[in-house]
Structure 1
Amino acid sequence: MNEELVVDGERVDRYANGTVKAVGHMRDGQLDGAWRWYRIDGSLMRTGQFDLGVQVGQWQTFDRTGRLVKTTTFKPRPVA
């Protein structure tokens, strides 16, 4: 897998063949905001949100035809 070294801003990870594997944002070197993951064939596999590296909100998983097969809800990030 090829990963960009991004501390802040958009990050795009790719499979060895160049196909997009994941797209999202980084903040302070951590996954943050909306992310999307794709299979090597380009079909959308999963969507979800991060709050500085912590999974939050609704995450959705799709089959190869794009049909929603699973929804998981994560609690908000604990307040320090």
Structure 2
Amino acid sequence: MNTGPTGSTPPGRSPGRASPEPSGHGGHGTEPRPDDPDHAGLHEHVERHRDGSVRGRGPMDGEIPHGYWEWFRLDGTLMRSGTFDHGVQVGDWTTYDRAGVPHKVTRMRG
């Protein structure tokens, strides 16, 4: 399951701090695309820590996460990222250290 550090960052992303508001996910299919039935009707979802900072963000299909998601620590640093396929974790999920460097990659068997 743990494939070790990869040093890769998803396109359009740089490890680091969360921006105060969602930024779109730079090519991760988060914006609704009427020409793609798999992505039609998606909306951006932001979860917040008690202090109001971004805890997690990504696209939802109704109440189900679908697409690329990121989670952040209270200090705003990226903690984990990965992709959901209709609520199921799929592909490589990356855990980052506090400096934003990939620490561990787990391959999900969605």
Q: TM-score, normalised by structure 2?
A: 0.60
> What's the secondary structure of 2:66's corresponding residue?
strand
The answer to whether 1:31 aligns with 2:65 is yes
Task: Tell me the number of residue pairs that the alignment of Structure 1 and Structure 2 aligns.
Answer: 70
Name structure 1 gaps, 5 residues minimum: 1-6
Quote the residue 2:46 is aligned against. Answer: 12
Percent of pairs with identical residues: 44
Quote the residue 2:90 is aligned against. Answer: 56
Structure number with higher relative contact order (C-alpha < 8 Å, ≥ 6 residues apart):
2
Deviation at 1:8, TM superposition (A): 4.2
Deviation at 1:28, TM superposition (A): 3.1
* d(CA) in 1 for partners of 2:79, 2:62: 26
- Superposed CA RMSD: 1.4
Q: TM-score, normalised by structure 1?
A: 0.82
Quote the residue 1:65 is aligned against. Answer: 99
User: Which has more strand, going by share of residues?
Assistant: 1
Name structure 2 gaps, 5 residues minimum: 1-40
